[in-house]
Chains A and B, each alone.
Chain A
Amino acid sequence: MSIEALGVTKKFGQFTALDNVDLEIPSGELVALLGPSGSGKTTLLRIIAGLEFADSGTIRFDGRDISDRTVRERQVGFVFQHYALFRHMTVFENIAFGLRVRPREHRPSREKIRAKVQELLKLIQLENLAQRYPSQLSGGQRQRVALARALAVEPSVLLLDEPFGALDAKVRQELRRWLRQLHDEIHITSLFVTHDQEEALELANRVVVMDHGRIEQVGAPDEVYNHPATPFVYNFLGNVNLFHGRVDGGKTYIHERETGHLVYVRPHLLDIARLPNGGDHFRARIKHINAAGPLVKVEAVTDWGALVHVEMPQDRFSTLHLLKDESVFVIPRDLKVFKVHEAER
């Protein structure tokens, strides 16, 4: 089922959580709503779910206006950041809940409910924990139960609010992969909220980057990462070096002072050399080297005192044999220029 938001605005008192947001999510996609806290991403998700109502604007499922429908009528699957499992019910009862509360004429028989719950328990690989209570499960297990519970009612869309936010890094990785697989199997239109850019880029087909209640960019992960539409997106989707600059006759010059343009360069798009290569470069002195991890992180100070972060593969680092306090040339391979007023918007 496709989801559309048209001109959605929501205010909480003086605070504008969503400012005239338009968004279209085609059926069957796995979409990430990415943004810092306070960007309005959770509010948008809750408005789509019907847990919150917009001040103005329309929500459509498959082209039908459902703005006035209650959460109950919308039949969405919702997964909460802190699981929100019913603590007085077993795993089995939690998953069966959505089926058991149906009006009598739509309620499946006991056997059907049992079969459905078993099927979902198998899907989340927790078949032998059916009689446990939520307090007896680990965080990752709880979140899988929450997902199974949401899927039990066969929702038209699946909405996840920071689904991995409360889990530790390793479990988060596993669950991400698992959710990806699950989505490949059941193709339910899914929308998840996250503030973790890595998670959004890894998991989603499409990423919606939000800031200050507005959508900054929508696109495939590689698109938003490699071709960020705004300085905010560039900044938010990874580490960045920021320089003042000037564009003159198709050439970009890096300056010490403000000159009308801002130059963004990702650390891994900078290279270091001992000799100028005849192309673009600037001088810097190496201040700190961190060689732990797959990438070596080098901190250098430019002639005019700005700090530059450079990342390079281990083998490049070992060929170079860089030393602390050494004077080197920094060579940008790619950069992105925004006008200052654009960046300050």
Chain B
Amino acid sequence: MARTITLRTTSRSAATSVAQGATLESPWVRWTLTSIAIVFLGLFLFMPLAVVFVSAFGKGIAAYFASFREPDALAAIRLTLLAAGIAVPMNLVFGVAAAWAIAKFEFIGKSLLITLIDLPFSVSPVVSGLVYVLIFGLQGLLGPWLRAHDIKIIFAVPGIVLATIFVTFPFVARELIPLIQAQGNDEEEAALTLGASGWQTFFRVTLPNVKWGLVYGVIICNARAMGEFGAVSVVSGHIRGLTNTMPLHIEILYNEYQFVPAFAVASLLALLALLTLVVKSVVEWKSQQDLKEPEEDWSVEPA
């Protein structure tokens, strides 16, 4: 069946040898679709990115670097790194644990857990920020208790960290669940029969098998943690030098018509995005390599 289709299409369009088989479209369709995609990406993705860098360097390199010597800018960068530095490891641990539980076991409330993991994806970040204000804020549920114990969460660093954890909750778990499910139980069972403990099995068998997925989940999680605006904006209170993260700092600068510093800080986030893309490509390439069988026969002597 497949062979007859191939024969028919190759005779119909023998000139083009790129695409083959039943899915072959005529050249003008392919070119039109490709051009639309390229024009779209250029207009809406590449040009804005270019604008960020052009504006950032609009008044020269000196002005660009001067933007980072600003104490408020430094504080914003530091706070962003701190929030991501706490949120990413926590979500890493949580994500691995949740993915493991969901992929390996049947338990009551499993579908509820899956839904909860997806919740941050479906709820607007502003709403999640507001929820934290309603719980931890001065007028909130725990407000009186927190004030009595002199703990400040909202309009302070803990609130920002909490909001960041919330919005970056799903990334690692979502990346790992299908991977761990696809691995099956065989290798873990084999490890157990060979006398490995649960932890040994996890660290020596399960984790290495999903390591690239894990790396990918972590970098995506990190990118989102550093770039989060909505939820953090609600809980931050915008106190300059204290509770402003990079995205919030950029907004303030922009509203004050300080375009060069605004775009200079923005360019850092853009660079982070580019770096994430590079790491992602490397990771994908690496995991491809792991799956691929090498062409040549490398009969190495036993070490």
A-side residues, CB < 8 A to B, are: 49, 51, 70-72, 75-78, 80, 82, 84-88, 92, 97-98, 101-102, 118, 121, 127-132, 135-136, 146, 149-150, 152-153
Cβ of B192 and Cβ of A71 under 8 Å apart? yes
Q: A86-B187, A136-B293 are in contact. Are A121 and B192 (CB under 8 A)?
A: no
Contacts of A49 in B (CB 8 A): 193
8 closest A-B pairs by CB: A98-B194, A84-B186, A130-B302, A78-B193, A84-B190, A101-B196, A131-B300, A88-B208
Contact status A130-B303, CB under 8 Å: yes
Task: Please count how many residues in chain B sit with their CB below 8 Å of the partner chain's CB atoms.
Answer: 26
Q: A137 — nearest CB in chain B belongs to which residue?
A: B293
Q: Is A84 touching B187 in the complex (CB atoms < 8 A)?
A: yes
Closest residue of chain B to A77, judged by CB? B193
| Interface bits B264-303 vs A (CB < 8 Å: 1, else 0) | 0000000000000000000000000011011000111111
- The CA-CA distance from A84 to B196 in the complex, in Å, is 15
Indicate which residue in B195, B294, B300 contacts A98 across the interface (CB closer than 8 Å). B195
A131 touches B193 (CB 8 A): no
In the complex, whether B25 has a CB less than 8 A from a CB of chain A is no
* A102 touching B195, Cβ below 8 Å: yes
* B197 lies within 8 A of A150 (CB): no
CB-nearest residue of chain A relative to B201? Answer: A101
* Inter-subunit contact A97/B299 (CB<8 Å): no
* Chain A-chain B contacts (Cβ-Cβ < 8 Å), number: 85
B195–A136 touching, CB < 8 Å? no
Are B293 and A101 in contact (CB-based, < 8 A)? no
Q: Give 23 pairs: A residue, B residue, CB < 8 Å, sorted on A.
A: A49-B193, A70-B192, A71-B189, A72-B193, A72-B195, A72-B196, A72-B197, A76-B193, A80-B189, A82-B186, A86-B191, A87-B187, A88-B290, A97-B191, A97-B204, A101-B191, A101-B194, A101-B197, A101-B204, A118-B302, A127-B302, A135-B293, A149-B190
A99 to chain B, nearest CB (A): 9
User: A71 to B198, alpha carbons, bound, how many Å?
Assistant: 11
Cβ of B130 under 8 Å from chain A: no
Given A71-B192, A98-B195, A101-B200, decide whether A92 and B187 contact each other with a Cβ distance below 8 A: no
**Chain B residues with Cβ under 8 A from A71's Cβ?**
189, 192-193
Additional A-B contact list (18), CB under 8 Å, known A51-B189, A78-B190 = A71-B192, A71-B193, A72-B192, A76-B193, A78-B193, A80-B186, A84-B186, A85-B187, A86-B204, A92-B302, A97-B194, A98-B194, A98-B196, A101-B195, A128-B302, A135-B293, A149-B194, A150-B193
User: Which residue of chain A is the closest to B198 with respect to CB atoms?
Assistant: A72
**B9 at interface by CB-CB < 8 Å:** no
Chain A residues with CB under 8 A of B74 = none
List, in ascending order, chain B residues with CB within 8 A of A77's CB.
193
Is A121 a contact of B302 with CB atoms below 8 Å? yes
B81 interfacial by beta-carbon distance below 8 Å: no
The closest CB in chain A to the CB of B301 belongs to: A128
Complex alpha-carbon distance, A265 and B154, angstroms: 86
- Distance of A293 Cα from B209 Cα, bound (Å): 47
Report the bound CA distance from A127 to B300 in whole Å. Answer: 10
- Does B208 lie within 8 Å of A78, measured CB to CB? no
Q: Which residues of B contact A102 (CB under 8 A)?
A: 195
A80 and B302 contact, Cβ closer than 8 Å, known pairs A86-B205, A88-B208, A88-B209: no
Q: In the complex, what residues of B have CB within 8 A of residue A87's CB?
A: 187, 209
Chain B residue, CB-CB nearest to A73: B195
Q: Is the CB of B196 within 8 A of A97?
A: yes
Cβ–Cβ < 8 Å partners of B298 in chain A: 131-132
A313 to B302, CA, bound (A): 51
Nearest-CB distance from A341 to chain B (Å)?
A: 40
In whole angstroms, what is the CA distance A121 to B204 when docked? 22
User: Are B195 and A153 interface neighbours, CB within 8 A?
Assistant: yes
Closest B residue by C-beta to A126: B302
Please give, as numbers and ranges, the residues of chain A lying within 8 Å of B300 by CB-CB distance: 130-132
Closest to B303 in A: A131
Interface residues of B in 193-217 (CB under 8 A from A): 193-197, 200, 204-205, 208-209
| Residue of A whose beta carbon sits closest to that of B190 | A84
B109 to chain A, nearest CB (A): 20
In contact, B299 and A153 (Cβ under 8 angstroms): no
Are A129 and B195 touching (Cβ within 8 A)? no
Chain A residues with Cβ below 8 Å from B293 are: 135-136
Instruction: Return the contact of A51 from the options B193, B205, B209 (Cβ within 8 A).
Output: B193
| Chain A contacts for B195, CB-based, 8 A | 72, 75, 98, 101-102, 153
Q: A101-B204, A127-B302 are contacts. A86–B197 as well, Cβ < 8 Å?
A: no
Residues of A within 8 A of B190 (CB): 78, 80, 84-86, 146, 149
Cβ distance B200 to chain A, nearest Cβ, rounded Å: 5
Which residues of B lie under 8 Å from residue A72 when comparing CB positions?
192-193, 195-197
Give the residues in chain B near A92, CB-CB below 8 Å: 302-303
The residue of chain A having its C-beta at the shortest distance from the C-beta of B209 within the complex is A88
Complex CA–CA separation, A254 to B72 (angstroms): 102
Among residues of B, the one whose C-beta sits closest to the C-beta of A159 is: B193
Taking A51-B189, A136-B293 as contacts, is the C-beta distance between A131 and B194 under 8 angstroms? no
User: Nearest Cβ in chain B — how far from A161, in angstroms?
Assistant: 10
- Contact yes or no, A136 B197, CB < 8 A: no
Which residues from B are CB-within-8-Å of A51?
A: 189, 192-193
Chain A CB within 10 A, most for which of B191, B195, B293: B195
Given the complex of chains A and B, what is the CA–CA distance between A170 and B293 in angstroms?
Answer: 24
Interface centre among A77, A80, A152 (most CB of B within 10 A): A80
Q: How far is the CA of A49 from the CA of B299 in the complex (A)?
A: 35
Chain B residues within an 8 Å CB radius of A118: 302
A149 to B205, CA, bound (A): 15
Bound Cα distance A51, B185 (Å)? 11
**Do residues B189 and A84 form an inter-chain contact, with CB atoms below 8 A?**
yes
CB-based contact A128/B205 at 8 Å: no
Residues of A within 8 A of B303 (CB): 92, 130-131
A149 vs B187: C-alpha distance when bound (angstroms): 12
Contact of A78 among B189, B209, B301 (CB under 8 A): B189
